[in-house]
Copies of this chain bind each other. A is one copy, B any other.
Amino acid sequence: MTDVRNLADSLAKIPGPWQPHRLATVNDQVDMKIAKLHGEFVWHMHPETDELFLVIDGEVVIQLRDRDVVLGAGDLFVVPQGVEHCPRAEHEASVIMIERTGTVNTGDAGGELTADLRELD
């Protein structure tokens, strides 16, 4: 049986931005992850999964090729499978992400920001 996790406690364990940590897995289908964002990520897409963002704190811009989606605390948005995007946060922000289990953060782009999914405990 999994135990209770708290979002604020989980964030306090994360040392810096662009390091997704696993909050939970549902049905071996999707992972719920938590991460800090600060600065600009890398343009990428996920050929195999939608990616849901829910902002916990701060402001996050999900840059798409044709528009910017601006998200504040309590806002959620789904980047559909295969759609190029690049998250950006001028000041440190925190988000929950939900996506297919096994998804790599940088998708098809790879590069130095690629990070293994980390465990909180």
Residue A100, interface by CB 8 Å:
yes
A118 CA to B93 CA, complexed, in Å: 31
Which interface class (under 10, 10 to 19, 20 to 34, 35 or more) fits A?
20 to 34
- Contact between A5 and B75, CB atoms less than 8 A apart: yes
Question: A28-63, CB under 8 A of B: which get 1 and which 0?
Answer: 011010000000000000000110101000000000
Contact check: which of B4, B29, B30, B72 meets A77 at CB < 8 Å? Answer: B4
CB < 8 Å neighbour of A75 from B4, B27, B75: B4
Neighbour of A81 across the interface among B8, B27, B52, B83, CB < 8 A: B27
Interface string of A60-76 (1 = CB under 8 A from B): 00000000010110111
* Contact, CB under 8 Å: A2 / B78: yes
Q: How far is the CB of A47 from chain B (nearest CB, A)?
A: 12
Residue pair B98, A26 in contact (C-beta under 8 Å): yes
- A26-B98, A26-B99, A50-B26 are contacts. A74–B32 as well, Cβ < 8 Å? no
Q: For the complex, is A80 an interface residue (Cβ under 8 Å from B)?
A: yes
Binding site for B on A (CB under 8 A): 1-8, 23-27, 29-30, 32, 49-50, 52, 54, 69, 71-72, 74-78, 80-81, 83, 98-100
